[in-house]
Amino acid sequence: MASEVKMVPIPRRGVDYRGKVVLAPMVRSGELPSRLLALKYGADLVWGPETVDRAMIGTTRRYNEATQTVEWFRVASHGQKEPPPDAKENIIYATHPEKEKGKLIFQIGTSDPDRALEAARLVAADVAGIDVNAGCPKPFSTSGGMGAALLRTPDKLVAILEKLVQNITPEFEIGISVKIRILETPAETEALVRRLVATGITGLTVHCRTTPMRPRERAIRGQLRMIAEICHEAGVACLMNGDVESKDEGLKLAEEFGADGAMIATSAEKNPSCFRTQADGGLAPWEEVVKEYVKTCMDVENRFGNTKYLLAQMVPGKAGLHQPLTQSKSYSDVCRMLGHEEFMEQAREADVRRGLDKPPVKQSKKGKSNAAALAAGRQTGQARVKTQQKKALSERGATAQSEPEPLPIASVG
C-alpha cells in the first residue's frame, strides 16, 4: 500500500496548487483583462502582476458598479499635502470578484516583514492567496531589496514569509506562497528551499533559471526534481516555471520532473488560449483571441496604454497591423483597425469614460522627456520625476491605472 502523501493543511479560503497550470505574474501582462482571458481559456489559477507593498499601503478599496470590479486606488497628490481638485485617481490593483473568486493570487513585492503584512491585509479578503516575489531580476525590484535580491538575504525572506503565515493565514484563511529562482549550485538551492518550506507556506514556485539568466536562455531543469522532493517532504506544493508553452506541456513536464503543476508566462502573453488542452480544441486563432481580449478590456475599462501594449504582443507581425496599432489613440481606433464594427458603440463609450475622445494635449519637449522617464510607479507629473531622483523604486507604486502609460518594464519574476 502506498504511503500517504504529506500535505500542509490548505486554509478554508485558500487553494491547493497541486495539479494546476497557472498564469505567471507578469508586469503589465498580468493585469485584469489578461487574467480573465486566461481563466476563460482554462487557466486553473492566475497570478496578478507584482505589486509593491508601498504602492498598496495608503490605497482605498471600492466596488465599481459599472465594471463589477473591486479597485484599490489613490489620488495623485504630486507631492502636495492635499491633492488638487482635478487630481487623477491611480488604480493600483483591480480584481473581478465574480470571475476570479478562488482563482486569484496576489503577488507582493516587498523587502520588509511589517510592510508586507500591512499591504497584504488590504487585499487578503479579496484573493485566494498571497505570493511573495523572490525571483524578479529587474532593477526596479532588486534595487529596493525585493525580488531576486531576497535570494541573497534568506533571513529576511524567511522573516517575511513567517510574518505572513502567522498573521494572514489565521486571520483571512488563505495560504502564503513564494516564487524563487534556482541558485548557482544545487547545494545552495537545497539549503534555501529547506528554509522556505519550513515557514508554513502552502506552495513554492521555482523559475528554472538563475538570476542573471534572461528569457531567451533555455530553462535549466536539472535541480527541479530535488526541489520538488524537498517541498513534498514538508507537504508543500511545487510549481515549475520556465519555457512552458501550453497546459498539456505543463502537465507533462510536471509529471516528468516530479512537480505538482506548472506556470506559463510568455506563451500566455502572446495567446492565452495556450491554457486550452488539445482535447478542448488547443490553441485558438489569434483573431478570435484578440477580439475577446478587446471586448474584455472595454468591459472592465482597462487602461488603454496597457490594452495597446498587450495587443502588440498578441497580433502577429505578419498580420501587417503593427504600424496602425502603434498609431491608435483610442478603443474606437483599435476596433476600426481590427474590423470589430459590432464593438464600435461600446468603444466610443469606453473612450468617453477614459477621456480618450478628447484631442491630445501638445507636450513640450521637456514634458515628453518627463513622460518617457516614468517607470514602475506609472504616475505622472514633474513632481514624480523629482521623486525618482530621491527614492528607490521600491518606494513607488507599481501598477497605477492612469493615462498616459510609459513603456513597459517586463518582469516574469
> How far apart (Å, rounded) are the C-alpha atoms in residues 33 and 99?
11
> How far apart (Å, rounded) are the C-alpha atoms in residues 185 and 188?
5
Residue 50: partners with Cβ closer than 8 Å, 6 or more residues away: 25, 27, 107, 108, 109, 133, 136, 141, 147, 398, 411, 413
Q: Provide DSSP, 145-209.
A: T-GGGGGG-HHHHHHHHHHHHHHHHHHH--EEEEEEE--SSHHHHHHHHHHHHTTT-SEEEEESS
Q: Determine phi and psi for 45, rounding to 5 degrees.
A: -145, 160
3-class SS at 30?
coil
Q: Determine phi and psi for 399, rounding to 5 degrees.
A: -145, 80
Task: Give the burial string for 352-371 (b: 16+ CB within 10 Å, else e).
Answer: eebebeeeeeeeeeeeeebb
**136 is known as an active-site residue:** yes
**Owner of C-alpha cell 525585493:** 146
Could you say which of 136, 231, 274, 335 is catalytic? 136
Report the catalytic residues: 136
